[in-house]
Structure 1
Amino acid sequence: MHSAKNAAAMLTRTASHTARTVLSKFYSSVAQTPRYVPRRAVMYVPGSDQRKIDKVAAVAADCVVLDCEDGVALNQKEAARNTIRATLEKKRSLFAGKDCSVRVNAVSSDLWKDDLASVLASQHLPTTLHLPKVDSTRDIDMFASEVVRLLEGRHLEEPLRVFLFCESGRSLLRLAELCEHGLGLPPPLLLDGFVFGSDDYCADIGMTRSSLARELLYARQKFVSVVRSFRLQAIDLVYIDYKNLAGLERQSVEGAEFGFTGKQVIHPCQVDIVQRAFSPSPKRVQWARGLLEAYEKHQTQGAGAFTYQGSMIDMPLVLQARNVIATSAAQSSSTHTDGDLRAPSYSSPLA
């Protein structure tokens, strides 16, 4: 067990070091470590609906996803591409401080290449590209190859970030392989994380969706365990009963406790609740700072385990406290760099 654990940790460190080395050579005009981009609330807006795009620009979601996929009718795909491209030209004024993303159609469709051609012709590129329905490493390779081809000759100030979607039983079974493969994306692409597409997952395996989502407990926990072990961001399922804010809060807190770094949202009323759930509270930050101060004091005295606020403290709790501080810092500054390309985690160098 220990050897497997050590091998996994070594794999993550090696992949992250390789990514840093490649990116630092490719982006000569920026800091060697790309900034960490928090995505607590990931909000979708149909790319064909200009009115909704204008409205969501005023919403305080960390991440706004202009959608070419499920949120757009088949006969509106071209209109969505045109609207998204026009929106990207104004993204610095419309979406300042946000991750302005675009979700293209899956590579299994005949739409994705036209999506990419339109989006990547924009003078101002999205911060992140979202690729749905990723079932194999071949899907990743086809997508990456097309992006690199379309961006040939362009110099980017930052990497073009990528989120991949796990939306089928097959994808969940192959998730570790997909994470490892995604960490090897060619420049200018950088894998930031995975999204769990629960509705497509349920449809794929014949699962009946319920409001409490108990049927998804195994899938969610497997998903977040695998994705976070590679220090990637893990985005939780949509809470579809958007008017039930108490239920949303319960599921959001649960997701944060599981280890998810953010959650998909479909309505502005969900944003504040979700972002609060995925942020360390002031009380939690105060606890972490106090614990770390006590830890440093006991270290200088040569002590090992010690008592803090009535609890026995050892290294795992110290690591958790460091993670709380790192997460709080990352979420409070859009220019934060955490010494690593990946999301803060208990096993990261931050911890």
Structure 2
Amino acid sequence: MGARTGLPRQRRRGGEQDHAVRRREARPRDVRLDPRRRHGRLRDDRSRARPLRRLRGGGTVTKRKSDCEVAYAAGGGELRVRVDSSVGVLFGRAIERTAREAAAEFGVGSGELRVDDDGALDYAVAARVEAALRAAGFARVGPARAAGNAPAAPRRPIPWRSRLYLPGDQPDLFPNAGLFGADCLILDLEDSVMPSRKAEARILARRVLEAHRGFFGRSALVVRVNPLAGPFGRDDVAELGACLPDAILLPKCESPADVEALASELDSLESTARGGGRALIMALVETARGVVAAPSIAAASDRVCAVCFGAEDFSRDVGARRTAGGAEASLARQSVVLAAKAAGVQAHDSVYSDSDDDAGFAAYCEAARAMGFDGVGLVHPRQIAIAHRAFDPGPAELEEARRIVAALEEAASRGLGVASIEGKMIDAPVAERARRVVARASGEAR
């Protein structure tokens, strides 16, 4: 019996970012997403989808650009690989070679692999082959294929002003994602992936982490796994194995035990990993229980680098009606800020769902910063610059901070225990804030 994998466009349901997925699917193709339009990345590809030939067992599958579908059928004789590709004249042999190498990892030497391709890169082809073979019952017998594993650039220092969500099952979005300059890119395995596609998405995430971290530039790379208490979360973490990202975003976080469980999983994985990296944890608080427990969540592990608020699921959990001003969640948002600041970690606000409303998003960011948040979630690359302007120190704020730091340094050089500006003593909180502002402006934050 065969196994088939691929990514027909489907509607998704879920919390933070769900509304963005629905909106993107509802509106016409948006080419503003990519300033290098000719590359055809980070856009809605619905208009370019084309039906594949009818597969054995019936049914027609639709695929997007830069992706492929793989079907495996058991059989005798040597392994046969049939490639039907829109770029087959140029890359047909390379696609076949990639498919065979992925099959060799599972000891598959017979049967038939059919690859229906529309410009998928090597890691996507390998991921789809692996998913098909695992669905057919095969287990890995050899080491993972290492293809073009260029070292990633150093990630942007904390704090992160922007976290941009990328659906984890859409490989066409990955290659140019680093061009936009988000502080943090999130490969989402939760809300934007249908349950039937979870296994394929986590394999795809692992493959791109293994081979192509350079896609993401200097952006910190984060994977949002599914909740550990559910049927998918622990498998998501285990799949990442020795190629952990900079951080794991843990959704539906409701207690310190949730953070401790993830930290324990990461300890185990990192003890056997070849690299010396240490993954951080971003805790996403999305329920009443999570907000109440936010102080203990923020302090649950030294891996925690941020507490994030998810307004969509929170409002649903408490039965609140969403309003334009967000008054229904103001207490919860402030609670998240207080919890994060008390623990010395970042506070991140929820996404703003209307990616076409630049003025509204700018006001949202200004309000979030005024409340004490360090950054926000994003559903579209066009929101990045707006968020960065809001959370970066303004000219007057930066000038004042530099004056304070200069006064502190001068006092220290003279052996004075205190410093002052215009006769006013600079107390410790003011000094620390000024140092943070200067460090942030120079990109030297921790």
Shorter chain as normaliser: what TM range? 0.7 to 0.9
CA distance in 1 between partners of 2:162 and 2:179 (Å): 14
Query: Is it true that 1:146 corresponds to 2:265 in the alignment?
Result: yes
> 2:217 maps to which residue?
96
Q: Is the 8 A contact 2:156 2:183 kept in 1?
A: no
Q: Is the 8 A contact 2:224 2:248 kept in 1?
A: yes
Query: Is it true that 1:236 corresponds to 2:355 in the alignment?
Result: no
> 1:40 maps to which residue?
161
CA distance in 1 between partners of 2:366 and 2:397 (Å): 14
Query: Is it true that 1:214 corresponds to 2:333 in the alignment?
Result: no
Match of residue 307, structure 1, among 410, 422, 445: 422
Pairwise mapping of residues 62-101 of structure 1 onto structure 2 (< 5 A)? 62-101=183-222
Query: Is it true that 1:115 corresponds to 2:228 in the alignment?
Result: no
Structure with bigger RCO (C-alpha 8 Å, 6+ apart): 1
CA distance in 1 between partners of 2:397 and 2:419 (Å): 23
Match of residue 173, structure 1, among 289, 292, 298: 292
Q: How much does 1:149 deviate?
A: 3.0
Distance 1:139 1:66, change over 3 A: same
Q: Is the 8 A contact 1:211 1:241 kept in 2?
A: no
Match of residue 315, structure 2, among 197, 202, 206: 202
Distance 1:152 1:293, change over 3 A: closer
Query: Is it true that 1:225 corresponds to 2:338 in the alignment?
Result: yes
> 2:393 maps to which residue?
280
The percent identity for this pair of structures is 29
Match of residue 261, structure 1, among 374, 377, 396: 374
TM-score of the aligned structures, taking structure 2 as reference length: 0.60
> Where does the alignment leave 5 or more consecutive residues of structure 1 unmatched?
1-33, 184-189, 338-351
Q: How much does 1:155 deviate?
A: 4.2
Distance 1:102 1:293, change over 3 A: same
CA distance in 2 between partners of 1:296 and 1:137 (Å): 40
Q: How much does 1:241 deviate?
A: 1.4
Q: Is the 8 A contact 2:287 2:313 kept in 1?
A: yes
Distance 1:145 1:241, change over 3 A: same
Q: Deviations over 1:199-252 (max 9, x none)?
A: 111111111112221221111111101111111011111111111111111111
Q: Deviations over 1:241-272 (max 9, x none)?
A: 11111111111112122221111001011011
Match of residue 135, structure 1, among 239, 249, 254: 254
Q: Which amino acid aligns with 2:381?
A: P
Query: Is it true that 1:162 corresponds to 2:281 in the alignment?
Result: yes
After TM superposition, the structure 1 stretch with the greater mean CA deviation from structure 2, 34-43 or 251-260, is 34-43
Distance 1:171 1:303, change over 3 A: closer
Query: Is it true that 1:126 corresponds to 2:245 in the alignment?
Result: yes
Moved runs in structure 1, 4+ residues, more than 6 A? 301-304
Q: Is the 8 A contact 1:91 1:100 kept in 2?
A: no
Q: How much does 1:192 deviate?
A: 1.1
After TM superposition, the structure 1 stretch with the greater mean CA deviation from structure 2, 111-120 or 243-252, is 111-120
CA distance in 2 between partners of 1:152 and 1:288 (Å): 42
Q: How much does 1:136 deviate?
A: 1.8
Structure (1 or 2) with the greater helix fraction = 1
CA distance in 2 between partners of 1:318 and 1:307 (Å): 15
Q: Is the 8 A contact 1:44 1:66 kept in 2?
A: yes
CA distance in 1 between partners of 2:307 and 2:193 (Å): 22
After TM superposition, the structure 1 stretch with the greater mean CA deviation from structure 2, 59-68 or 128-137, is 128-137
For this pair of structures, how many residues does the alignment match?
A: 289
CA distance in 2 between partners of 1:157 and 1:151 (Å): 8
Q: Deviations over 1:12-58 (max 9, x none)?
A: xxxxxxxxxxxxxxxxxxxxxx9943311101110001112234232
CA distance in 1 between partners of 2:266 and 2:420 (Å): 51
Q: Is the 8 A contact 2:348 2:373 kept in 1?
A: yes
> Where does the alignment leave 5 or more consecutive residues of structure 2 unmatched?
1-154
Q: Which amino acid aligns with 1:214?
A: A
- Matched residue of 1:75: which SS? helix
> 2:108 maps to which residue?
none
